[in-house]
Structure 1
Amino acid sequence: MDWEVEQMDVKTAFLNGYLDEEIYMEQPVGYVQRGKEDRVCVLRKSLYGLKQAPRVWYYTFYEVMIAERFTRLVKDHFVFIKTRGNDICIIRVYLDDLLVIGTKPFVAEIKEMLKRRFQMTDLGGVSYLLGWHIERRRSERIIFVHQEKYATKVLDRFGLAQCRPVRLPEETSQKLSESDCPTTDAEKQEMEKFPYREAVGSFMYLMMGTRPDLANFVRQVSRYLHNPGPHHWNYVVRGLKYLNGTRDYGITLGARDVTNATLAHALSAYSDADYANNVDTRRSVSGYVTYLFGSSPISWRSSLQKLVTLSTTEAEYVALASTVQVVLYLKQVMHELGYDHVDPVRIGEDNQATFRISNNPEHHGRCKHIDIRYFYNQRRQQAQDIDVFYCPTDKMPADILTKALTPEVFCRLRELVGVRSRTVVLGERT
């Protein structure tokens, strides 16, 4: 398709919207007249600082999109699409930042329309957005996305930019627990000296953007934001040391060789679980990763299951149900964007019993106690929305999302999950 991917910025976006509510403000400095000091101003338009400002701006932009005959996606209200013959334009909104994607002449036309409607800054082809470096190799049909600049800022902020890197964000021998939390006021006060929450928040932004290899680590340290102890902080410091050695790592979108086979199975996923992982509650951990064209990771998650499962099979089946829901959502988004994924979405599963249960609608004694909602997997399999296939554990990329691993396994699965160094993907900087 070779579409354009352009970036635009709306100048003073929040000042564009008209208010529906009656809101008053104090007179600004230099405006007050003698004898009218007790007067207030009635706000007609939105201002920065109003809690309504983001919502007012969004609906102002929405009304423009509808007037220009764009359609808002049902499954994502921040994406708008317009087609005209063979031309297409997709606009993704993030506050005052816009991505304008589509066929070249149509994108140019839509950009001119936006400039007439709002005061805009045309930034051209996207290269840096929301802390993400976006490097496109058009001839190779790939886009490499990483957060090296943001990672460097994080390391500078916490004083570890010159630290010795480590190969892993977490060790298999270490476990975090509630028992490591401070219990006395003195211990809690001592921990206030350490920027635990700020560091975890920084990791979370990295993980959600381009670093699925950090997902299990972030899940672990996020559980103790309310009351972190010294052991939790040391865990975070180790994560920062790992980040220092991998700051230019990111994900590759697109595919160098797209065939009819890869198009037929454009969307795929892998699901995994680690049974009774949590030492405090013995709840299991779910992990999934979804791909486009077999190698472009587009969503991932590591999460603690909401219930205590009684076997590895049950834990895997519960994890699979979450993966199926995400896959069907993505399938619906693709449909709204004009791509109908006709074939069932393939989901890899490394537990033989879970694979058999998903593919066999007959009753299985070992799972008769499982909540009926988790049999959603079977229904979707029978409806041919999904196709659960067996994936050997050593080839299961979602395994990296559920537990700490040895260096050899972690590095191999990091490659499988789609996280690579910029140097490996694009070569040395010139």
Structure 2
Amino acid sequence: MLIAAKDKGEIRKVKAQLSEEFEMKDLGPAKKILGMEILRDRKTSKLYLSQKRYIEKLLCKFNIRSAKPVSTPLAAHFRLSSALSPQSDDEIEYMSHVPYSGAVGSLMYAMVCSRPDLSYAVSAVSRYMANPGKEHWKAVQWILRYLRGTTDVCLQFGRTEGGVIGYVDADFAGDLDRRRSLTGYVFTIEGCAISWKATLQTTVALSTTEAEYMAITEACKEAIWLKGLFSELNEDLQISTVFCDSQSAIFLTKDQMFHERTKHIDIRYHFVRDIIARGDIVVSKISTHENPADMMTKSLPITKFEHCLDLVGVHC
């Protein structure tokens, strides 16, 4: 169990209450929990969150320890769709012996805990859990090969005085099967990722602006929750800012009128207008080149991908 509070007095109080009700052992400052290793550098006031040992076990389990590493989680030549699912009895028989679900589940745990760089790739391969094909399995192996060369990657946290900053992006009609768009966002504190997500939108967007608008709405929902959580740990929380690289979508969040091109959008996405009008969250424009959420929605060249990692505090 991890206990966090504004001051150590509150932590001691909770420990005392728990010890009165249960048998418990105080292990001191957290060093490891649920496969995540917590390393501290007191001199530089840095904290590192790593899953190196978990990833090494994962690579050993799926026989990837001796494979040649690759530089990105998912290469651009992978065009995954349900059309690549097994068509013949031989393919079905072959895939029945492939541990696809286990591999994707293991990758998903690493992604959720400390590896935002895996978000897009894991989102892509997880869509075909029910009926994966050989090409889908090759994509999973590619992700494992990427982990082979990045076992030392970790999240780096430092002292924070600022608020929560979010970045959001959308990939219009990125799903080849149903032409749904992909939402990707990442939130940071002092340049280090604390929350991230890459997921298909539930409805089909009719334009890039609409896709970006729905992505902003999802990001603002996460920002509201993070703002509440962070305010419990830090009273001096500033207004949350969400950055988006679509100027037209930003205008749409501030326009209270319903037009021919937007009146069909589900009403639940329009709640973001009230949030922004109240000043709870600010949505601002950012250059595509400086938007780290870009890596959450598509495969990127290695240079741009590494730049995105630097922007969210993912370091080797």
CA distance in 2, matches of 1:370, 1:102: 42
Give the total of aligned pairs: 316
The CA deviation string for residues 327-351 of structure 1, in whole angstroms up to 9 with x for no partner, is: 111222234446363x431110101
Cα deviation, residue 365, structure 1: 4.7
Residue in structure 1 matched with residue 204 of structure 2 by the alignment: 308
Aligned residue type for 1:351? S
The CA deviation string for residues 54-111 of structure 1, in whole angstroms up to 9 with x for no partner, is: xxxxxxxxxxxxxxxxxxxxxxxxxxxxxxxxxxxxxxxxxxx343555345534543
CA distance in 1, matches of 2:283, 2:257: 16
C-alpha contact 1:155 1:161 (8 A) present in aligned 2: yes
Q: Once structures 1 and 2 are overlaid, which stretch shifts more, 157-166 or 236-245?
A: 157-166
- Counterpart of 1:165 (choices 65, 69, 78) is 69
CA distance in 2, matches of 1:100, 1:275: 39
Residue in structure 1 matched with residue 117 of structure 2 by the alignment: 213
In the alignment, is residue 389 of structure 1 matched against residue 293 of structure 2?
Answer: no
Cα deviation, residue 252, structure 1: 1.7
Consecutive unaligned residues of structure 1, counting only runs of 5 or more, are 1-96, 422-430
What's the % identity of the aligned pairs? 37
SS at match of 1:223: helix
**RMSD of the alignment, in Å?**
1.9
- Decide which structure has the larger Cα Rg and report it: 1
TM-score by length of 2: 0.93
Alpha-carbon distance change, 383 to 109 in structure 1, aligned in 2, over 3 angstroms: closer
- Counterpart of 1:188 (choices 85, 88, 92) is 92
Consecutive unaligned residues of structure 2, counting only runs of 5 or more, are none
Alpha-carbon distance change, 283 to 332 in structure 1, aligned in 2, over 3 angstroms: same
Q: Matches of residues 257-336 of structure 1 in structure 2 within 5 Å?
A: 258-259=160-161, 262=162, 266-293=163-190, 295-336=191-232
Residue in structure 2 matched with residue 147 of structure 1 by the alignment: 51
C-alpha contact 2:192 2:314 (8 A) present in aligned 1: no
C-alpha contact 1:398 1:417 (8 A) present in aligned 2: no
CA distance in 1, matches of 2:42, 2:278: 38
C-alpha contact 1:313 1:353 (8 A) present in aligned 2: yes
- Counterpart of 1:373 (choices 255, 268, 289) is 268
Aligned residue type for 1:316? E
TM-score by length of 1: 0.70
- Counterpart of 1:407 (choices 286, 291, 302) is 302
C-alpha contact 1:180 1:231 (8 A) present in aligned 2: yes
CA distance in 1, matches of 2:170, 2:135: 25
C-alpha contact 2:5 2:233 (8 A) present in aligned 1: no
CA distance in 2, matches of 1:205, 1:122: 27
Aligned residue type for 1:216? Y
SS at match of 1:143: strand
Q: Once structures 1 and 2 are overlaid, which stretch shifts more, 398-407 or 99-108?
A: 99-108
> Which structure shows the higher helix fraction?
2
The answer to which structure, 1 or 2, has the higher relative contact order (CA under 8 A, 6+ apart) is: 2
CA distance in 2, matches of 1:345, 1:109: 31
CA distance in 1, matches of 2:217, 2:56: 37
Alpha-carbon distance change, 229 to 129 in structure 1, aligned in 2, over 3 angstroms: same
C-alpha contact 1:297 1:418 (8 A) present in aligned 2: yes
Q: Matches of residues 7-22 of structure 1 in structure 2 within 5 Å?
A: none
Q: Matches of residues 96-107 of structure 1 in structure 2 within 5 Å?
A: 97-99=1-3, 101=5, 103-107=7-11
- Counterpart of 2:38 (choices 134, 137, 144) is 134
